[in-house]
Structure 1
Amino acid sequence: MKNHYNRRQFLRLSGSGLSGLALLPGIVSGMKSSVPTERVVETAYGKLKGLQSDGFVTFKGVPYAGSVSGANRFKRPAELKPWAGVRDALQLGNPSIQAPNQTYGINEPDPAEDCLFLNIWTPACDSAKRPVMVYNHGGGFVSGSGGSAMQDGANLARLFNVVVVETNHRLGLLGFLYLDELWGDEFAGSGNRGVQDIAIALKWVNENIERFGGDPYNVMIHGESGGGMKTSALYAMPEAAPYFNRASIESGPGLKFKSPELAAETTELLLSDLGLTKATAHKLLQMPAVQLLEAQLQLSKHGMRSLVSSFEGIGASGVGGFSPVVDGTVLPVHPFSPAACEISKNKPLLVGWNEDEQIFFSMFGGDLDAFKLTNDGLKSRLEKNFGDEADRIISTYRATRPEASPTDLYIAIYSMLSMGLGSVRIAERKSEQGGAPVYLYNFGYKSELKVPGTDYELGSMHAMDIAFKFYNVAATKGPNGTDIPGMAGSREERFQASRNMCNYWTSFAASGEPSAEGQPQWKPYDLNTRPTMRIDSQCALIDDRYASELAMWREILEPKTN
């Protein structure tokens, strides 16, 4: 059954409580809104004009590097040139070139090849030296932007006293086409331009964020889904290492990335699809960006990554896809395979996933049949992936969920396969390393809204956590004055769950130790007790969560050794 629901419209619903204009129950009382005033800050490159509102200041569309178009396509960005006078930083910058309707910002300009902009939300442009939280947007490695309404940073900045930064960076073919073996040193690192752009943005933050009230030596990087995978890559990159102190990988466990051999095969397929050879490949430099995007979309039909093959996460795309490349230079090693990378040994890490990730993927994949499974239907689906192991998988999950429906079991199984196994493996390998601590979590707050066309609730689906970690869970007012709930739903408990998540994340940003008033102490992950924090309106620290399920997956998925 095809899913007729518009993903763009749905995700826009989740951007409630934006820009600090809504009063947030239980946190902000007696605050009066006012007309924003201009605020000018001088950076190392020139003066920027932002907007100051009640309790926060925003600067949007701030350039952090030079051109990546024309002669700079597939290369490191040109140096950012200083400007004279005062430059407006009042509107979001252009996202990277991508398929239509994949960005969710308010008044966001169209995608463009020159896209290296960042946005800043800060409580004040003073000398307070607050923790800085640099968020990497989701969308895999092919879509999204740092201007999405759901991840607007105003509430997080003003209510939790941090500076929030989000970037746009190159995506897809323009950000991850591997040309090192084709054109040599001038294009070395081409398979990692998208994450290298973020590293360059981190350098900009280091040089300038003190002018925006931030501490350049107390920077946390984090991101969800594709942003989690980008964070994984940055965690292993020498170019990024000097400019961040801790990290959080959220529903995007990138243990391994693409090999040069696989990346080169993708490049060869692209040339073939475009009717080019190695001798005529230079035409890639002159083609309009829209033509390259069309070729990228066609190329994606050649291969897809597998989500169910091992504990090694989801970072590496298959032939025809785009993701970072372990090229030995920009990205010297896999971040967490076969072990946690040495370069970030002393940097604390948060890692985890949402309990009901698969709801999102089934809903937007058009698989509404997944929400009305029978026992036979569940077994049939598992047999396609696991053959004779299907009965064993069902009985293992049924033992810990005796009241679960077949759909409940399906969601639990495939949520673990897509995001859980890799997250656990990262926690294990980071703990084994014996350096800075790692903290494992599950996001568990359940939205009561229904999957369109079904009676099944959204629960803790993939991407549900974004609004919670930015405290954007308030309803918005419709034209007739009625409340329009965001993706988080309407239950009052959502505010406490969001406060808990924001407190844990911002305290981690400040000190490397997550804590939240009135909630359990979050102990670092270890290989004996294996504590996992479940994030909800009342959080719970659970030792050795999913023990029987994980033991089963290890036996089924890990290579057999003699």
Structure 2
Amino acid sequence: MQVKRRTVMAGLLLPALGGFTQHRADHPTAATSNGPVRGYRDGTVTVFKGIRYGADTGTRRFQPPSPPRPWTDPADALAYGPASPQTGSEPNQSEDCLFLNVWTPGLDDQRRPVMVYIHGGGYSTGSGSSPLYDGTRLAGRNDVVVVTLNHRLNLFGYAYLARLVGPAFADSGNAGQLDLVLALQWVRDNISAFGGDPSRVMVFGQSGGGAKIATLLAIPSAAGLFHRAATMSGQQVTASGPLNATRRAAAWLDALDLPPERAAEAAALPVDRLLRAAEIGDPVLGYGSLYFGPVLDDRTLTRHPFWPDAPAQSAAIPMIIGNTKDETRAFLGGDPANYSLTWDDLPGRMTLANMRIDVAPEGVIAAYRAMHPDWTPSQVFFAATTAARSWRGAIIEAEARAAAGTPAFVYQLNWTSPIDGGRRGAMHTDDIPLALDTVAALGSRAQGPQAQPMADILSRAFVAFARTGNPNHSGLPAWTPYDLKRRQTMIMDVPPRMEDDPRGDERRLFARIPYVQPGT
């Protein structure tokens, strides 16, 4: 993989201009605390892409981010900034990746709700530049300001070198989270120039994005930077402990042929070499490549995100916790063999890599056959792997909020895309285009005549939540928060409905088995 470095824009030298905005034809200009930026119009929405919120991280690898050098001449914000270096097909990668994007109905003083979307891809891949995250419709149809962003990922954002190198890299295990804090500080300081309300900032994200948000809820330096939070199939119950994180870093350094006493040299090695070395097997999990994620470092992160309870610092922040009914069909549904399993095949498929908890498959299978005697082996496989993995984390977080007396609004997406005859169910990622109202975007699985009605239901709930802290709107039945008596859950479908404790039999089955966040 070739990783490109973005050429730093000229003129990033002098103090920023104050004031509000200027309008020049179709390229309106907004003033920020770092310097003016020039965007463009897309219908009724003004768009700014690639606004720099942090300095080049290549010169500060494994260290906390820093603000950019200020500039005076308007900087073009017409194209997405680079993504963090990563494996895979994400285009335009660079360590100079601290950029964000803004969609707004107006550069004025209307103080609209602000919806900051944090992308998924675990902690290792992705960017805020996906067509699925385009904020044009969400901003234009609902009079809100939408923000997406890029930050450091994988080893660049989460390789924990503190115990190997010392103070110079003391914050390396959470550098990616500190990037998010810096981006949210930029929103606090600048979003009013884009027609947004800095006192009504909602963060929302799917998969890894949701996990990053769950972690931010427990990071002291993030306190006060956002006022509502919504996670979609993305939880972070526990962070990686410092010893396991060090074990992973040591394995990675060994793949780089660096003994621990030379660990600091990784700060100067080529990007491609660092990424290749991270493809080795994970020494803690025993499956998959190296996991890099938030670390309990007693600096940035001083407690686990949702263990042993919900963090007190974010108790007053309203929260939505969502999942999809058939999460693991996104990961396991691409293998045709998983749709024709026999009862003899099933135990061998229910491995630690697929279940993510240490449990004997025979007992789980017997329990499912008793609970659902009409289910096929394949139905049991997809249901059990979903219930044991990300759904389990969502339930734990919902229970923790309820126990603290600050219950969350909980939903489960049941709406199923007709792609492949619906065989993938309501799988992981399916709520992205529905929440962001991007069903027509490239890569969207939301198809068929019910796709837009479903998007209207879910996106309006998120907009209402951003505006008031309550997701109820005229297209929903009364959505009440989740408590430990009824476990109220909004079933997102066409039409939507409320249910008490959906899949309660599966919840009770897995509640007796200790849960450890995958990766930690």
* TM superposition score normalised by structure 2: 0.89
1:411-450 aligned at under 5 Å gives the runs 411-434=382-405, 436-450=406-420
User: How far 1:87 sits from its partner (Å)?
Assistant: 0.6
Cα distance change, pair 153–349 in 1 and its aligned pair in 2 (3 A):
same
**What is residue 337 of structure 2 aligned with on the other side?**
369
1:181-229 deviation per Cα after TM superposition (whole angstroms, max 9, x unaligned): 2333332221000111001000000000001111011111111111111
**What is residue 481 of structure 2 aligned with on the other side?**
524
Give the one of 36, 45, 65 matched to 1:47: 36
Give the one of 198, 201, 225 matched to 2:207: 225
User: How far 1:179 sits from its partner (Å)?
Assistant: 1.7
**SS class of match (1:69):** helix
Is the 1:396–1:549 contact (alpha carbons within 8 Å) kept by the matching residues of 2?
Answer: no
Cα distance change, pair 422–301 in 1 and its aligned pair in 2 (3 A):
closer
Kindly indicate whether residue 51 of structure 2 is the aligned counterpart of residue 83 of structure 1.
no
User: How far 1:473 sits from its partner (Å)?
Assistant: 1.2
Kindly indicate whether residue 408 of structure 2 is the aligned counterpart of residue 468 of structure 1.
no
Kindly indicate whether residue 169 of structure 2 is the aligned counterpart of residue 205 of structure 1.
no
1:148-174 deviation per Cα after TM superposition (whole angstroms, max 9, x unaligned): 111211111111221111110001111
1:397-428 deviation per Cα after TM superposition (whole angstroms, max 9, x unaligned): 415xx4x4432332222112221111011000
**What is residue 488 of structure 1 aligned with on the other side?**
446
Give the one of 363, 379, 388 matched to 1:389: 363
**What is residue 156 of structure 1 aligned with on the other side?**
138
Cα distance change, pair 319–381 in 1 and its aligned pair in 2 (3 A):
closer
**SS class of match (1:239):** helix
Is the 1:263–1:319 contact (alpha carbons within 8 Å) kept by the matching residues of 2?
Answer: no
Kindly indicate whether residue 295 of structure 2 is the aligned counterpart of residue 337 of structure 1.
no
How much identity, in percent, do the aligned residues show? 35
**SS class of match (2:486):** coil
Is the 1:221–1:244 contact (alpha carbons within 8 Å) kept by the matching residues of 2?
Answer: yes
User: How far 1:472 sits from its partner (Å)?
Assistant: 1.1
- The CA distance in 2 between the partners of 1:148 and 1:474, in whole Å, is 13
**SS class of match (2:29):** strand
**What is residue 191 of structure 1 aligned with on the other side?**
173
Cα distance change, pair 370–388 in 1 and its aligned pair in 2 (3 A):
closer
- The CA distance in 2 between the partners of 1:166 and 1:475, in whole Å, is 16
The one-letter code of the counterpart of 1:410 is F
1:11-57 deviation per Cα after TM superposition (whole angstroms, max 9, x unaligned): xxxxxxxxxxxxxxxxxxxxxxxxx9221111111111111122211
Is the 1:118–1:167 contact (alpha carbons within 8 Å) kept by the matching residues of 2?
Answer: yes
1:327-353 deviation per Cα after TM superposition (whole angstroms, max 9, x unaligned): 111011111111111111111111121
Is the 1:498–1:537 contact (alpha carbons within 8 Å) kept by the matching residues of 2?
Answer: no
Is the 2:80–2:101 contact (alpha carbons within 8 Å) kept by the matching residues of 1?
Answer: yes
Is the 2:480–2:488 contact (alpha carbons within 8 Å) kept by the matching residues of 1?
Answer: yes
The one-letter code of the counterpart of 1:464 is D
1:246-294 deviation per Cα after TM superposition (whole angstroms, max 9, x unaligned): 1111101110010011111112112222222233222112111121111
- The CA distance in 2 between the partners of 1:180 and 1:475, in whole Å, is 42
**SS class of match (1:339):** coil
Is the 2:282–2:289 contact (alpha carbons within 8 Å) kept by the matching residues of 1?
Answer: no
- The CA distance in 1 between the partners of 2:404 and 2:33, in whole Å, is 38
Give the one of 25, 38, 53 matched to 2:27: 38
The one-letter code of the counterpart of 1:126 is D
Give the one of 153, 161, 175 matched to 1:171: 153
- The CA distance in 1 between the partners of 2:236 and 2:186, in whole Å, is 25
Is the 1:256–1:335 contact (alpha carbons within 8 Å) kept by the matching residues of 2?
Answer: yes
Is the 2:333–2:424 contact (alpha carbons within 8 Å) kept by the matching residues of 1?
Answer: no
* TM superposition score normalised by structure 1: 0.83
User: How far 1:242 sits from its partner (Å)?
Assistant: 1.8
Cα distance change, pair 37–345 in 1 and its aligned pair in 2 (3 A):
same
**SS class of match (2:401):** helix
User: How far 1:545 sits from its partner (Å)?
Assistant: 1.5
Give the one of 126, 129, 142 matched to 1:144: 126
- The CA distance in 1 between the partners of 2:147 and 2:384, in whole Å, is 35
Cα distance change, pair 38–504 in 1 and its aligned pair in 2 (3 A):
same
Give the one of 380, 392, 398 matched to 2:372: 398
1:86-97 aligned at under 5 Å gives the runs 86-97=74-85
**What is residue 381 of structure 2 aligned with on the other side?**
410
- The CA distance in 1 between the partners of 2:452 and 2:253, in whole Å, is 51
* Residue correspondences, number: 486
Range with greater deviation from structure 2 (36-45 or 280-289):
36-45
Is the 1:444–1:536 contact (alpha carbons within 8 Å) kept by the matching residues of 2?
Answer: yes
**What is residue 267 of structure 1 aligned with on the other side?**
249
- The CA distance in 1 between the partners of 2:181 and 2:515, in whole Å, is 34
The one-letter code of the counterpart of 2:360 is F
Give the one of 468, 475, 486 matched to 1:511: 468
Q: Which runs of 5+ in 1 are unaligned?
A: 1-35, 104-108, 307-317, 477-484
Is the 2:53–2:98 contact (alpha carbons within 8 Å) kept by the matching residues of 1?
Answer: yes
User: How far 1:99 sits from its partner (Å)?
Assistant: 0.6
1:367-423 deviation per Cα after TM superposition (whole angstroms, max 9, x unaligned): 321122234433553488524304433224415xx4x44323322221122211110
Cα distance change, pair 412–391 in 1 and its aligned pair in 2 (3 A):
closer
Cα distance change, pair 185–540 in 1 and its aligned pair in 2 (3 A):
same
Cα distance change, pair 201–396 in 1 and its aligned pair in 2 (3 A):
farther
**What is residue 109 of structure 2 aligned with on the other side?**
127
Kindly indicate whether residue 30 of structure 2 is the aligned counterpart of residue 59 of structure 1.
no
Range with greater deviation from structure 2 (440-449 or 411-420):
411-420
**SS class of match (2:57):** coil
**What is residue 3 of structure 2 aligned with on the other side?**
none
Give the one of 502, 518, 538 matched to 2:495: 538
- The CA distance in 1 between the partners of 2:364 and 2:319, in whole Å, is 34
The one-letter code of the counterpart of 2:292 is F
**SS class of match (2:418):** strand
1:428-455 deviation per Cα after TM superposition (whole angstroms, max 9, x unaligned): 0011112x331111011100111xxxx6
> Please, what is the CA RMSD of the aligned residues?
2.1
